[in-house]
Structure 1
Amino acid sequence: MLEKKKWDTVVFDLDGTLLNTLEDLKESVNFALNEAGMPLRSMEEIRRFVGNGVMRLMELSVPEGRENPKFERVFETFKEHYSLHCNDKTGLYDHVEELLGELKRGGYKMAIVSNKYYDAVQELKEQYFAEYIHVAIGEKENINRKPAPDTVIEALKMLGSTRETAVYVGDSEVDIATAKNAFMDCISVTWGFRTKEEQQKAGGKLFVDDPLEILDLLQD
């Protein structure tokens, strides 16, 4: 069992950190674009576009973004398709389940905070993390999404934790900024949607190449 040290709470990003959701996102984006007769997007483009919520994903995917008169229709088509297909090809990254099991056995508090819309976050939480994580917050009305600290602060309140004893784990520049804005420590992962170099440019300083390496950092 882990011996708790500096941190007793771990707040995770979802996409690119715990789950590889890229293929399903690409399929739904391209389904919506194809329905509107628009050019399709590559996996590399989708990788670069994700991280700031689905509205921003579609703004970057649709030619001319929200200025395009078809944008709202395409966005709705995407949401409808993704709500039905968000789990077709999505799966846990290697060693994530082992990590969560060790954290649970060690008595750590855990939460998920995502810019994915709320209903999808809840569905994926129940599918993959119900045994380990009970607090999961997605994009919803009346609360600022990441990199604003609001959703992270809400998660900490729900857990009864403080930012001083919590660490944020994510895979992008948005996550690094979120942790900074919440005055929290941050662990950046290298297996997600941004490279180590991209995250270093955004100010990332503490990196792991495998989920189980997080256990070592928690015990340092």
Structure 2
Amino acid sequence: MSKYRAVIFDLDGTLLNTIDDLAAGVNHVLALHGYPVHSVPEVQSMVGNGVARLMALAVPEGTAAEEQSAMLAEFREYYFSHSEVYTKPYDGIEELLAGLQSRGIKTAVTSNKFDAAVKKLCDKYFGSLITVAIGESADTPKKPDPKMVEKALALLGVGADEALYVGDSEVDIVTAKNAGLASVSCTWGFKSREFLISERKKVLGNADPRMMIDEPSELFSAME
């Protein structure tokens, strides 16, 4: 029997493959302003720290702050209404969430995506399989600040020692550490297995193979 009563997930690159819609949104705004667009792999290398950082990396160097601010607003508007064109859950995710629910394990999502989009995507793709969904907002700073995870724990009614954090990036590893949670790194997302091993060693001092999973179903073993 697992000692964990809850699992907190990252969203992009962990539960949902969102990269094609993110890239389309970035390139839509760049094209509107007459700037060169990026390939999907290039955009993938920019994600993980919220949409403000994504757009800051995507625009040409030297772009005026006022224009960057306008482009960020344009991205938010466009992406919110075009976030479900190519996006889909990774294989095995819906079965994983259903399996957790059947075992009485609570679930939450904490994401550096803006809050309205996080709630919209979780509701569309997962419905009641996700209990709590939180994104970045004016009163909820982005990860690796632990406040988002702490808010999720409070809403779930569990302590940090009763929850496991699952994500696909270095930001997730640091976030879990900052919030006092054990973490699992998934390798099917936006970062490579080799990169995640290196980051776990750097942040945690080890890369326990039990806490590296290549398939969603492997999470059940990691929770034992």
Kindly indicate which of the two structures has a greater share of residues assigned to helix: 2
8 Å contact 1:12–1:169 — kept in the other structure? Answer: yes
For residues 93 and 188 of structure 1, the distance between their equivalents in structure 2, rounded to whole angstroms, comes to: 15
1:84 deviates by: 0.8
How far apart in 2 are the matches of 1:177 and 1:201?
13
Q: Secondary structure at the match of 1:130?
A: helix
Q: CA deviation at 1:86?
A: 0.4
Deviation at 1:70, TM superposition (A): 2.1
2:155 pairs, out of 144, 158, 161, with 158
The answer to whether the 8 A contact 1:22-1:47 is kept is: yes
- The aligned residue for residue 191 of structure 1 is 188
CA-based RMSD of the aligned residues comes to: 1.3
Q: For 1:58-207, list aligned pairs within 5 A.
A: 58-64=55-61, 67-203=64-200, 205=207, 206-207=211-212
Offset of 1:134 from its aligned partner?
2.1
Paired residues of 1:170 and 1:176 also in contact (CA < 8 A): yes
CA distance 1:74–1:65, change in 2 (3 Å): farther
Question: Following TM superposition, by how much is the alpha carbon of 1:72 offset from its aligned partner in structure 2, in angstroms?
Answer: 1.7
Per the alignment, in what secondary structure is the counterpart of residue 38 of structure 2? coil
Equivalent in 23, 34, 38 of residue 37 of structure 1? 34
Is this contact kept in 1: 2:101–2:129, CA < 8 A?
A: yes
CA deviation after TM superposition for structure 1 residue 67, in Å? 4.2
Q: Secondary structure at the match of 1:49?
A: coil
Structure 2, gaps ≥5 residues long? 202-206
Q: Deviations over 1:178-207 (max 9, x none)?
A: 001111100000000111111122226221
Classify 1:65/1:94 alpha carbon distance in 2 versus 1 (closer, same or farther; 3 Å).
Answer: farther
Q: Distance in 2 between matches of 1:117 and 1:66?
A: 23
Paired AA for residue 104 in structure 1: Q
2-side partners of 1:202 and 1:39: how far apart? 32
Give, in whole Å, the separation in 2 of the partners of 1:50 and 1:42: 13
Q: Amino acid of the residue matched to residue 73 of structure 2?
A: E
Q: Structure 1 residues 69-78 or 8-17, which shifts more? A: 69-78
Choose which of 210, 213, 217 in structure 2 pairs with 1:208. 213
Structure 1 residues 138 and 66: CA distance shift in structure 2, 3 A = farther
- Deviation of 1:160 after TM superposition, in Å, equals 0.4
Aligned residues: 216
Give the secondary structure class of the aligned counterpart of 2:117: helix
**In 1: Cα distance, 2:63 partner to 2:180 partner:** 33
The one-letter code sitting in structure 2 at the alignment partner of 1:141 is: A
TM-score, reference length from structure 1: 0.95
Instruction: Measure the CA separation in 2 of the matches of 1:88 and 1:8.
Output: 34
Stretches of structure 1 lacking an aligned partner (at least 5 in a row): none
State the distance in 2 between where 1:143 and 1:120 align.
14
Q: Give me the whole-angstrom Cα distance separating, in 2, the residues matched to 1:101 and 1:110.
A: 10
Name the CA distance, whole Å, in 1 between partners of 2:87 and 2:162. Answer: 31
CA shift, 1:216, in A, is: 1.6
- Give the residue type in structure 2 aligned to 1:140: S
For 1:212 and 1:151, the matched residues in 2 are separated by 26
Report the secondary structure of 1:112's partner residue: strand
Query: Which amino acid counterpart does residue 221 of structure 2 have in structure 1?
Result: D
In the alignment, what sits opposite 1:27? 24
